Amino acid sequence: MDALDILSDLDHVIPFFQPIFSADEHRIIAYEILGRFQTKEETISLGPFFQDKEIPEEYRLEVDLIILEKAFNKAKHLEKDILFFINRDAELLIHDEEEKLLQLITKFSRQGLNPNRIVLEVSERNSDGKSKDLDHLLRYYRTFGMKIAIDKMGNDSSHLDRISQLEPDILKVDLQVLRSTAAGPTYQNILFSLSMLARKIGAALLFENIETAFQLQFAWKNGGRFYQGFYLSKPQVDFLDRGIMKERLKQECHEFILSEKKKLENLFSLREEFDSRVQDMLNRNRKVLHYTQLLEVLSRELDEIAFRMYICDEDGFQKSPNLFKLDDSWLIQPEYEGKNWSWRPYFLENIIKMRNEKKGILSDRYNDIETGVAIRTFCLPINSQHFLFIDLSSSYLFDREGLF
In this structure, which amino acid lies at residue 203?
A
Q: How confident is the model at residue 93 (pLDDT cuts 50, 70, 90)?
A: confident
Which pLDDT does position 404 carry in this prediction? 59
Nearest to 289 by CA among 261, 311, 256: 311
- Between residues 152 and 207, which one has the greater pLDDT? 207
Q: Report all structural domains of the chain as residue ranges with CATH numbers, in order of start.
A: 3-231 (3.20.20.450), 260-399 (3.30.450.20)
Question: Which spans in 110-184 are helix H?
Answer: 131-142, 163-166
Residue-wise pLDDT for 237-268, tens only, equals 999 999 999 999 999 999 999 999 998 998 89
Give strand pairing partners of 84.
31, 118
Residue 348 reports pLDDT greater than 80: yes
Which pLDDT does position 398 carry in this prediction? 81
Task: Out of 138-147, 186-195, 241-250, pick the least confident.
Answer: 186-195
Nearest to 166 by CA among 144, 142, 145, 196: 142
Question: Which spans in 204-360 are helix H?
Answer: 213-221, 246-284, 291-301, 347-357
| Global pTM value | 0.86
Calculate the alpha carbon distances from 365 to 132, 274, 295, 339 in Å: 39, 16, 23, 23
Q: What percent of the chain has pLDDT over 90?
A: 64
